[in-house]
Amino acid sequence: MKFSEEFEQRFAEMVTHYPTKRSALVPTLLYAQDEVGFLSDEVISELASRLALTELEVRNVISYYSMLTTKPRGKFNVQVCTNIACMLRGGEELLHHCSKKLGIGHKGTTPDGMFTLEEVECIGACSWAPAVQVNYDFHENLTTEKMDKVLDEYKKRGTQ
Amino acid sequence: MAELVSHPDEIKVVTRRFGMGATNIDRYLELDGYKAVQKALAMPPDDVINLVKNSGLRGRGGAGFNTGMKWSFVPKQSPKPKYVLCNGDESEPGTCKDRLIFEHDPHSVIEGVMIAAIAVQSHAGYIYIRGEYRYLSVIMQKALQDAYARGFLGKNIFGSGYDLDIYWHGGAGAYEVGEESALMESLEGKRGIPRIRPPFPAVVGLWGGPTVINNAETLASVPHIILGGAEWYASLGTPKNGGTRLFCLSGHLNRPGVYELPMGYNLKKMIYEVGGGIPNGRSLKAVVPGGSSTPALKPEEIDVAMDFDALMKAGSMLGSGGVVVLDDTTCMVKFALRTIKFYQHESCGWCIPCREGTDWLKKTLTRFHQGAGLMKDIDNIQYLSENMLGRTFCPLGDAAAMPTIAFVKKWRKEFEDHLEGRPCPFEKEGAIEQLPVLSH
């Protein structure tokens, strides 16, 4: 299995950064997931082989890290923080609002495959709470109105 | 985005280049960048260690160990390679400061890693950034690339004859991985399960070699200390607590934001003058002084100096600098519940007291907040938490237990008010009945 040119170049370089190839596993899994959408059996098998690991060893690692998934997700993963600083400034209400608007719950995906919703732990935006991360983008100082605009923007982007 | 704020009481050391385009290497050089590392290259390594030791710089990740002293534990001779590892896995609830350093002054982190490497005579460093901070990883990777292109990294840096490589490394979502030994396990490509100590990382670390692990803010402080001197840095703070630190103000405040204030700054002043006090005419109920792992303080306890030693004396901790302010509309039982939910979710599962303890606490506090609590639960919550302390491979168990003990001891009345099926006195009209449950 081959990944994009960019991935292959990055991977070839990354494995030279460590005394053991295995060290490249965690960041590589995330880059592979970014590209393929989720960590499919094929991706797991490929990376295991490249890093001289068993598939079981790779799956053991995947199951530990919360950003990694072996199931397909929506185009946009809406990650709403409800930890203490965000909770104090309406994070739970924001999650509930997104859940109602999108019609899905935690780790659910909309039928059109556009959005997945996830309740997450602290994303490091406490002083700009309440905050949401959509894929890797931060959205901060939110209200339910602002959140609606954010979701509409992504919906537009996703249908182009 | 993550807006910058300021206050006249700030002393800008680590934040002095914020908002000045210092991600650009030429700009960084204009603003005294890469001068400190060249000074360090010309010093005996032990002098570098002693300078940092005498500055009073203590770990800004939360543990507050004297940085220079930690460096001094690295053996001079080592059959295995020595490493420097920058902990950029910022995930402590209430903490959002390393994020700003990566965003506005990434080269200062690189330079700090370089100086640490020179001090312990290591030739390889890693900057580990949490997976969610992808845009910051992109910035850091570019900064490293630029430093290599100028000959500041790689073979014969600055023409000094010293070889030094620094690599970026990314995580993929895990609070526990911010714990230094779990961080190493993660960097080695494994699940982030902590190691038992001793041996400590400075002696046996990455791939068995001596490893210095420091928080990103700690390392970003180092170049300023080299240039300004130990006396200067020490004088900014309080005895044995030198310098300044980035405080992340959040919660029920008029002016939340990240502010760089001297060590020992008064917490009451921080809340009311820097943070602008509590909005909507409400009053203060509690403050979490240093991230969710630190015991909360009551309003009568906030007249305290924000440094490691004063807070320890006050029964809490300076921690990561995450100052979370709660007003009187907050239910302390719900707040305690959300806090423990976090630890239960993030527990790596290795040690029984943590894995089972956080789970039992979460279940009990959930039942309690829903009105099905018993009087004996309150004492059991405290008793179980106390039995978790000091019985785990890593401090996550303590981080879950200590705040819980404080909630139950200091706000016991509020727990009692939830007994006998009484509805939560703080639940707003039309509040959400069921919290969506975090699955693992």
User: The complex's ipTM?
Assistant: 0.98
The tokens for B7 are 């206050």
Give the pair of three-digit tokens for residue A98.
Answer: 């997104």
Residue from B250, B342, B358, B437 whose CB has the most chain A CBs within 10 Å, to mutate: B250
* A30 and A98 both lie in a single domain: no
Q: Is residue A120 part of a domain?
A: yes
Say yes or no for a CB contact (<8 Å) between B99 and A24.
no
- Cβ–Cβ < 8 Å for A34, B131: no
What pLDDT was estimated at residue B106? Answer: 98
Which of B3, B132, B189 is nearest residue A26 as measured by Cβ atoms? B189
Give yes or no: residues A84 and A127 share one domain: yes
Establish if A37 belongs to a structural domain: yes
**Beta-carbon pairs below 8 A across chains A and B:** 167
pLDDT of residue B420: 87
- Determine, yes or no, domain membership for A71: no
Q: Name the token pair of B411.
A: 């706000």
Domain presence at residue A148: yes
Question: Which domain does A22 fall in, by range?
Answer: 5-64
A83 to B342: CB separation less than 8 angstroms, yes or no? yes
Check: pTM over 0.80? Answer yes or no: yes
* CATH code for residues B25-235: 3.40.50.11540
In a domain, A113, yes or no: yes
Going residue by residue through chain A (160 aa), what tens digit of pLDDT does each one get? Answer: 899 999 999 999 999 999 999 999 999 999 999 999 999 999 999 999 999 999 999 999 999 999 999 999 999 999 999 999 999 999 999 999 999 999 999 999 999 999 999 999 999 999 999 999 999 999 999 999 999 999 999 999 999 8
Name the domain boundary from A15, A42, A64.
A64
pLDDT for B433 equals: 45
Interface probe for A, chosen from B134, B153, B270 (most Cβ of A below 10 Å), is: B134
Tell whether A95 and A144 lie within a shared domain: yes
How far apart are alpha carbons B105 and B143 in whole angstroms?
Answer: 10
Taking the domains of chain B in order of start, what are their residue ranges? Answer: 25-235, 244-327, 332-416
Interface probe with B: pick from A61, A92, A126, A132, most Cβ of B within 10 Å: A126
Same domain, yes or no: A81 and A56: no
Residues A116 and A140 in one domain: yes
CA–CA distance from B62 to each of A98, B91, B100, B205, B387 (Å)?
A: 34, 11, 17, 20, 22
Minimal CA separation from A160 to chain B, in Å: 24
Would you call B338 an interface residue with chain A, using a CB distance cutoff of 8 Å?
yes
**Local mean pLDDT, 10-residue blocks, chain B (440 residues):** 94 98 98 98 98 98 97 98 98 98 98 98 98 98 98 98 98 98 98 96 98 98 98 98 98 98 98 98 98 98 98 98 97 97 98 97 94 93 96 96 98 93 77 44
How many angstroms away from the CA of A121 is the closest CA of chain B? 7
For the sheet with B124-129, list strands across it.
B165-170, B124-129, B83-88, B211-215
Q: Is residue A82 part of a domain?
A: yes
The CATH number covering residue A47 comes to 1.10.10
Provide the number of structural domains found in chain A.
Answer: 2
Closest residue by Cα to residue B230 from B68, B4, B7? B68
- Could you tell me if A88 and A44 lie in one domain? no
Task: List CB contacts of A19: < 8 A, sequence separation 6 or more.
Answer: B81, B207
Q: Is residue A69 part of a domain?
A: no
Cβ-based contacts of B170 with chain A (< 8 Å): 26-27, 30
Residue A87 lies in a domain: yes
CATH tag for B244-327 (out of 3.40.50.980, 3.40.50.720, 3.10.20.600, 3.30.450.30): 3.10.20.600
- End position of a domain, from candidates A64, A96, A114: A64
Query: Would you identify the CATH topology of the domain B332-416?
Result: de novo design (two linked rop proteins) (1.20.1440)
